[in-house]
Amino acid sequence: MTVPLDEAVPVDPPDPSPRRRNRAGTDPVKALLHRHRELCERAVDPLDIAAGLEAHGITDRTAARFRHRDVFSLAEELYARTTRAQAPPAAPAGLPADPRAVRGFGYAVLPGAFALGAAAAGVPWAGALAVLAAVAGLGRPVRPGWSAAAGRTAAAVYLLAGAVVGWAVLRHGTALGAALALAVAPGYVAGAWFAARARRRLAASPALEDFADGVKPLLAGTVLLFTAAAAGAAAVAGAPPSTAVPLAVLLFLTRLMLAHGAPRRGAAAALAVALLPIPAAPLVAAAGLLVPAVLALSRASAHARS
């Protein structure tokens, strides 16, 4: 018997949702999770996964192939689907959120204090101490997770920085080295402030391009603030600002690139330019390093937690 059309059993339309399709076929997000399992298990939050994915070349356009509007949305699903160990208990109330920041600032004050004290006392080795103090402000020469090639490049950056500061102190006197050492403390504060604000902007950005557009003026403002602080350090130490300020900015940008794991070849090239025997070499080197620093530090992968 023929069933009338108006009495036919309705047929559900195909469900276009990714969950229904993934049950029927392959799950592309699961494959991506397997490929980046270590990154996902190590991540503190979805932002770390987003930064790591960007470092591996995954863009918002790539995320669309995984049925997500952007890398951040894809990272949230990866974070939610990752099994990880139980998080450590929160610190008791009343304690600083990050005691390392307090210790770091204390360590950043020491180079300037030692260099300025030695210069004021007129000790013979004050210039050498100022050079060591200024270079020590760049942070640890090698960081966990760096490859052997990255470690060698970072070592070359430190050697070049020592050569640049030593050459400048030899030409302009111990006061210049003391000024660069004094600039280590404001450089630490400016770098920490930039990292915190960039991290906050990363959390609020809907897409990688939006984050890059927002962090570039933030970096420019940070560099301007540090430049003013470096001019103050030069005035306190009695160093020529035309040389001390560009060199301090050059070391500050180098510090930022080392701290955020950015490509170090640009820093090495800029430091090599600063060694040229021309008066404008420090200024040219600092201005030249600003371009690769902006490009590198406006990437989300530069702000993943280590």
Q: Name 26's Cβ contacts closer than 8 Å, sequence gap at least 6.
A: none
Between CA 144 and CA 261 the distance in angstroms is 11
Over range 82-105, report the average pLDDT: 57
Between CA 233 and CA 130 the distance in angstroms is 13
Q: What are phi and psi of 216, to 5 degrees?
A: -65, -50
Which amino acid is located at 293 in the chain? A
Let me know: does 222 contact 194? Beta carbons within 8 Å.
yes
Which range has highest mean pLDDT (13-27, 143-157, 264-278)?
264-278
Q: What is the pLDDT of residue 188?
A: 93
Would the CA dihedral through 264, 267, 273, 275 be positive or negative? negative
Query: In the chain, where are the structural domains located?
Result: 27-87, 99-303
Q: What is the pLDDT of residue 284?
A: 97
Between CA 206 and CA 72 the distance in angstroms is 7
Q: What are phi and psi of 86, to 5 degrees?
A: -65, 135
Which range has highest mean pLDDT (70-74, 112-116, 177-181, 261-265)?
177-181
Q: Is the pLDDT of residue 5 over 50?
A: no
Token pair for 164:
């640049």
Largest CA distance in the chain: 112
Average pLDDT of every residue of the chain? 81
pLDDT tens column, 212-271: 889 999 999 999 999 999 999 999 999 999 999 999 999 999 999 988 877 788 999 999
Instruction: Residue 190: name the closest of 141, 228, 140, 135 by CA.
Output: 228
Q: What three-state secondary structure class fits 116?
A: helix
Between CA 198 and CA 289 the distance in angstroms is 20
Q: What is the pLDDT of residue 18?
A: 46
Answering whether pTM is above 0.95, one says no
Instruction: Residue 219: name the closest of 273, 289, 141, 142 by CA.
Output: 289
Between CA 268 and CA 131 the distance in angstroms is 18
Instruction: Residue 252: name the closest of 285, 276, 280 by CA.
Output: 285
| Residue 240 region by backbone torsions, left for phi larger than 0, else alpha for psi between -120 and 50, else beta | beta
Between CA 52 and CA 301 the distance in angstroms is 6
